[in-house]
Each structure stands twice: as C-alpha cells, then as structure tokens.
Amino acid sequence: MGLILGQYDAKAEGFAPGGISLHNCMLPHGPDRQAFDKASTSDLKPQKLENTLAFMFETRYPQQVTEYAAKLPTLQRDYADCWQGLEKHFDPNRREWSKP
C-alpha cells in the first residue's frame, strides 16, 4: 500500500504521503479502528474521495524486507497498535445470513 498525496481513508493517522506499508501473505492488515467504526456507522451511499491518491499491489508470493529496510529509523514499529481494541464481530454460529 502506498500513499502519493492526501490522506488514506482506511488509516488516516500515521500514514503520510510518501509512506508505504508491506503486508505479507497471511498477515493481518486492514483499516484502523477509527476507519472501521466510521465505515460501520455511516450511511450506505456512494462517497467520493477527493484530494488523495493511494495505490495497492497484491501478490500471493511471500515478500522479504531487507536488513537495511528493517533497521531504518523511519520504520513504524508500532504499526500494528492501530488494531488494538477491535472487537470480533464474526459469529460462526450465526445463520441468518445463509437463509435461502
């Protein structure tokens, strides 16, 4: 994920233009708590995002970070903290979604 300009709507804090994040396959990632709460409670209607430009590449292949990149002072070591406090909403016993 990369941000060229503006603000990334799924992680408004801590993701500045010029920033990137690398998520390896099978690792958790996604919107932060604030973005999840906002999206879960807003009206379901089309919304136009303006003054922002983000991009995403996806691959099924495992990625590796170089030793140099892992030691950069700009590495955001608290990146995963944005998901603290997210509650689980999935209920494997809930069946009303599967009604014919």
Q: What is the pLDDT of residue 71?
A: 93
Q: What is the pLDDT of residue 68?
A: 95
**In tens digits, what is the pLDDT along the chain, a chain of 100 residues?**
889 999 887 776 667 898 888 777 777 677 778 888 888 888 889 988 899 998 888 888 888 889 998 899 988 888 778 788 788 888 888 777 655 5
- Residues 34, 1, 49: CA angle, nearest 5 degrees: 55
**CA–CA distance from 32 to each of 10, 36, 67, 69 (Å)?**
6, 6, 27, 24
Domain locations along the chain: 1-41+52-85
Q: What is the pLDDT of residue 98?
A: 56
pTM: 0.62
Place of tokens 């300009």: 5
| Nearest-angstrom CA–CA distance, 38 and 14 | 17
